[in-house]
């Protein structure tokens, strides 16, 4: 049985673009901005650039599918707008 995703916390370059992409992928979902003292949580220290799974941090997101055919249906969504890989797999 596939386990539902409770939440994903990602550092992205464009929140609006990423929210739209993930909602198109998984369906409607709530986007929550985490507040911290002084405002919304953000990370300004990292240099701008393209995501690489070779850097420390998130490598990829793995989503379990029921069948190999379901995996093929997801093939076009293999990376998000920041180039984070999405892995679809079938454990059977």
Please, where are the H alpha helices in 1-92? 15-26, 68-74
In a domain, 65, yes or no: yes
Q: Any idea which residue has 């029921």 for tokens?
A: 66
User: What band does 1 get if pLDDT is binned at 50, 70 and 90?
Assistant: very low
Nearest to 77 by CA among 66, 88, 69: 88
Q: Which domain holds residue 26?
A: 15-89
Asked if pLDDT for residue 72 goes beyond 50, the answer is yes
> pLDDT tens-digit profile of 10-69?
777 788 898 898 888 888 888 777 666 665 565 555 566 666 766 666 777 888 888 889
In a domain, 84, yes or no: yes
Query: Which pairs from 22-28 meet CB under 8 Å and 24+ separation?
Result: 22/80, 25/77, 25/86
In a domain, 24, yes or no: yes
Give the residue, 28 or 6, on which the prediction is more confident.
28
- Kindly report the CATH number assigned to the domain that includes residue 51: 3.10.180.10
pTM of the predicted model over 0.75: no
All residues at 6 or more sequence positions from 59 whose CB lies less than 8 Å from its CB, including other chains: 53, 85
In a domain, 9, yes or no: no
| Domains identified in the chain, total number | 1
């Amino acid at each position: 049985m596939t386990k539902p995703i409770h939440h994903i916390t990602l550092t992205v370059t464009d929140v609006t673009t990423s929210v739209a992409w993930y909602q198109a992928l998984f369906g409607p979902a709530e986007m929550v901005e985490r507040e911290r003292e002084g405002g919304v949580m953000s990370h300004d220290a990292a240099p701008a650039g393209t995501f690489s799974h070779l850097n420390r941090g998130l490598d990829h997101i793995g989503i379990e599918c029921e069948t190999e055919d379901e995996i093929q249906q997801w093939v076009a969504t293999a990376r998000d707008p920041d180039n984070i890989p999405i892995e679809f797999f079938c454990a059977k």
